Amino acid sequence: MQKNQIIQLKIDNVGMNGAGVGRYDGMAVFVKNALPGESVNAKIIGVKSHYAFALPVSTDGVSPMRRTPACPLFNKCGGCTLQHVEYRDQLKIKREFVASAMKKAGVCCDVQPTVASEKQLRYRNKMSLPVGEGKDGTAVGLYALNSHRIINCDDCLLQPEWNVKIIAVFRRFMQNSRLKGYDEKSASGDVRHLVVRELSGVLYVTVVATHEIDLGAFADILKADGMDFCLYLNVNAAKNNVILGERWKKVAGAPRAANINGFMIDVHPAGFFQVNDYIRDKIYRDVAGIVSDEHPRTVIDAYSGAGVMTAMLSRCCKRAVGIEINKQASASAHRLIRDNNVSNMTALQGDVKNVLPTLKSFSEDCAVVLDPPRGGCDASVLHTVIDFMPLSIVYISCNPATLARDLSIIEPLYEIKLVRPYDMFPMTDHVETLVLLCRK
């Protein structure tokens, strides 16, 4: 198989980035936007040792899974890789993603149907838009698939309607201020990202700049438009792809505590918080119910973020301990404890692999909750958990591949009782998964 070769193949399933997968001479070929049941003539655009990438040239037949994408930027933007798929089929595809990862890792389990999101569009409570320079001035939008080329966007359909006004106001500010968007190649420019999170009706707006800039005019425009907001400046002068820097400055507005599952909490803009309120709350309630059934003396919540789930877990045990590496998120957890008088909860700030071993004295009759980032758990964390021999382990994952890898280490000593995918990210190829393991 060679680049630019035209091949014919039948699409059998959906793989990475929502591409249709077919086989040609025994090699997997990922065809952009193709769907199962379709036969395509495809042009090879890249060849690896065991697979290839292709673009469809022509298609014979239309898959019953196919629908017309709602967004005009679907073929340009890299965000909504499954927007051309009927929602019921998106749920099936994501279940198969999890089942396939488990099978590949040699993990034997039954995977439940994917829990649907209440909303399929307008569900995100947070947006992060890169800012650069284009032919027509400042570019504000989303990256094209597998690139850092910015696609201008006036309305992302995954964001609530407030994103339209925020983007328009920000463009106006950039035009009037003479500030320049960031150029990654030359590491030049003033503004790198616009990040917005909504909590209880308040918009927490962060402008990420390469140096200290005056955001007073931006605050004035936000006020004039009647928005309930809190504006921050974040300075990130590093020559890398990390969005946020270490320096923060509150410019205008006042943070306001939000009620999340019965706990009043304020989340710093740098703190992690799940983007889909409905699925987040569903997972939190499910985890609390599962752990409660195990009647643990102590619950250790590793990678605990702002501490909401730790607080919920404190209701079903004598002691709940959260571990979080992010300083701002850990500070939010401490404020949650104070403001809600959660006397049996402790929030520890630090790397899980360093902090967890210090909790050995709490390991008797304990339950451990693992909610790591996409890279999964460090091997040392898994071995520490196994050494604790908790009554149960609850693992929440946003990456089926690393989840399956980690479960293959735990499984010899623990029985997998539950594997349940959740559609945290409708219209994308990402899936959240909850796993319950009990001591054999």
Of the candidates 24, 6, 80, 11, the one whose C-alpha atom is nearest the C-alpha of residue 427 is: 80
Q: Catalytic amino acids?
A: 398
| All residues at 6 or more sequence positions from 386 whose CB lies less than 8 Å from its CB, including other chains | 409, 410, 413
C-alpha span between 199 and 3 (Å, rounded): 48
Cβ contacts of 365 within 8 Å, gap of 6 or more: 296, 297, 298, 391
Structural contact between residues 150 and 184, judged by C-beta atoms closer than 8 angstroms:
no
Side-chain half-sphere CA neighbours of 380 within 13 A: 7
- CA distances (Å), 177 to each of 215, 251, 417, in order? 9, 16, 57
- Whose tokens are 């959660």? That residue is 342
- For residue 110 the two structure tokens come to 């039954």
Pick from 9, 142, 4: which is nearest to 83 by CA? Answer: 142
- Terminal CA-CA length for the chain: 48
Nearest to 274 by CA among 398, 119, 383: 398
* 3-class SS letters over 5-32: CEEEEECCEECHHHCEEEEECCEEEEEC
Helices within 214-370 (DSSP H only): 216-224, 277-294, 308-313, 327-340, 352-355
Instruction: Describe the crossing of helices 87-105 and 400-410 by its angle, rounded to 10 degrees.
Output: 40
In whole angstroms, give the CA distance from residue 133 to residue 139: 5
Torsion angle, CA of 246/264/420/87, rounded to 10 degrees? -80
Cβ pair 77, 153 in contact under 8 A: yes
Residue 326, both tokens: 């992010």
